[in-house]
């Protein structure tokens, strides 16, 4: 995607309704994949469905797309329910994990396939193709077959096919999982820039928290067929609503220690777990004192990850890679604003960190 002078496709903001799900459940003969999902995915925003494999995020995307049907509940685009409609009538575009390109068609034919099936007049098809190909940096590749393209170029063709449809909502099912790490990073930036430029409502499925945190306006964290939390990336990181979210978001993830391992830290009576981000633990400064013993060190260049034993529990400290090697015994401090408290059910309790909004 190169030419910043190309005008975005004419998809007015008024034509971009919210996508809402109410009580959406999907049950199979032996298990329930989704349990009463209630969420609104706002128009013109980049929404990410994030969670581990098997949490139900791809099943939910398939229900939105019409590739499967909910057992109960409603799916609406603006004021209109769409869960009873076939996929072609839902006003959605979709980019699959496999890209789903036709190997015998060239790039232009792949991009135009949907418009051809819908009977869009040829002059309009060609005009749209010219605009979208220029926008996606594909103008010089239109005569090539998919087998002659790199992974990133194939991804752009799949995106172009979705964009050219001029649908208000674009669904993406782990579209970067087949690319190497460097290309994934590049495509993250390109997809996000495309979504913002065209003001698309995008619903993106991934298990990769880096993709979610770097691309999303807001993230829907899922676990075992349920929604754990819906929040912006910053709020999700700073104020996780559950133990699951706290342990899933962050690299390394939040330390989650039993209250008994930190008996000197004041905590609510209902707290059974204390959470501390690895970067919030310090070897000097003001805060609650904590004694620890060294377990190991991983040197990563810019950072080093120090694993410690605190009261029989594991605690991870992230330091600058320029920090001196730690001693076998350490005296640490944990600032009060760094503390997160959770009850026996894994739900967040009022915590000192709640008074400090994400920066």
**pLDDT given for residue 5 in this prediction:** 33
* Domain boundaries, given as residue ranges, for the chain: 13-238, 253-262+270-354
pTM here is 0.87
CATH fold of 13-238: Rossmann fold (3.40.50)
CA–CA–CA angle 101, 175, 249 (5° rounding): 175
Contacts of 335 (CB under 8 A, 6+ apart): 280, 282, 285, 286, 287, 288
Report d(CA 240, CA 296) in Å as an integer: 27
Sign for the pseudo-dihedral over CA of 262, 287, 235, 58: negative
pLDDT tens digits, residue range 64-81?
999 999 999 999 999 999
pLDDT tens digits, residue range 304-347?
999 999 999 999 999 998 888 888 998 899 988 899 999 999 99
Per-residue pLDDT band at 7 (split at 50, 70, 90): very low
CATH fold of 253-262+270-354: OB fold (Dihydrolipoamide Acetyltransferase, E2P) (2.40.50)
> Which residue is listed with tokens 């609650």?
288
Contacts of 262 (CB under 8 A, 6+ apart): 274, 288, 290, 310, 311
Region class of 234: left (phi > 0), else alpha (psi between -120 and 50), else beta: alpha
- Backbone φ and ψ for 176, nearest 5 degrees, come out as -105, 5
**pLDDT given for residue 54 in this prediction:** 92
Residue count of the chain: 359
Report the percent of the chain where pLDDT is more than 70.
95
pLDDT tens digits, residue range 142-162?
999 999 998 888 888 988 888
Average pLDDT over residues 216-239: 96
What's the half-sphere exposure (Cβ side, CA atoms, 13 Å) at 357? 2
């Amino acid at each position: 995607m190169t030419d910043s002078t190309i005008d975005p496709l004419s998809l007015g903001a008024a034509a971009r309704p919210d996508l809402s799900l109410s009580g959406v459940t999907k049950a199979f003969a032996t298990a329930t994949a989704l349990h009463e999902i209630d969420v609104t995915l706002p128009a013109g925003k980049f929404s990410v469905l994030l969670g581990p494999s098997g949490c139900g995020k791809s099943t939910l995307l398939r229900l939105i797309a019409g590739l499967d049907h909910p057992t109960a509940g409603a799916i609406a685009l603006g004021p209109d329910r769409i869960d009873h409609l076939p996929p072609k009538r839902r006003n959605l575009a979709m980019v699959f994990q496999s890209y789903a390109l036709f190997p015998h068609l060239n790039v232009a034919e792949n991009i135009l396939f949907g418009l051809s099936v819908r009977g869009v007049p040829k002059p309009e098809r060609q005009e749209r193709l010219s605009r979208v190909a220029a926008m996606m940096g594909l103008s010089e590749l239109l005569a090539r077959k998919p087998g002659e393209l790199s992974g990133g170029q194939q991804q752009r063709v799949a995106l172009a096919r979705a964009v050219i449809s001029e649908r208000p909502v674009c669904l993406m099912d782990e579209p970067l999982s087949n690319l190497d790490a460097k290309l994934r990073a590049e495509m993250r930036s390109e997809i996000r820039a495309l979504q913002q430029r065209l003001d698309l409502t995008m619903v993106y499925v991934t298990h990769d928290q880096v993709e979610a945190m770097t691309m999303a306006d807001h993230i829907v964290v899922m676990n075992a067929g349920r929604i754990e939390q819906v929040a912006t990336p910053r709020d999700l990181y700073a104020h996780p609503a559950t133990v699951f979210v706290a342990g899933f978001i962050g690299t390394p993830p939040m330390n989650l220690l039993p209250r008994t391992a930190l008996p000197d830290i004041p905590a609510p009576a209902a707290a059974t777990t204390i959470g501390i981000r690895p970067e919030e633990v310090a070897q000097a400064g003001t805060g609650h004192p904590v004694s620890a013993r060294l377990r190991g060190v991983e040197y990563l260049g810019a950072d080093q990850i120090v694993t410690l034993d605190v009261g029989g529990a594991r605690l991870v400290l992230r330091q600058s890679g320029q920090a001196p090697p730690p001693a076998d015994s350490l005296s640490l401090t944990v600032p009060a604003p760094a503390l997160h408290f959770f009850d026996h059910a894994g739900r967040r309790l009022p915590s000192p960190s709640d008074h400090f909004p994400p920066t």
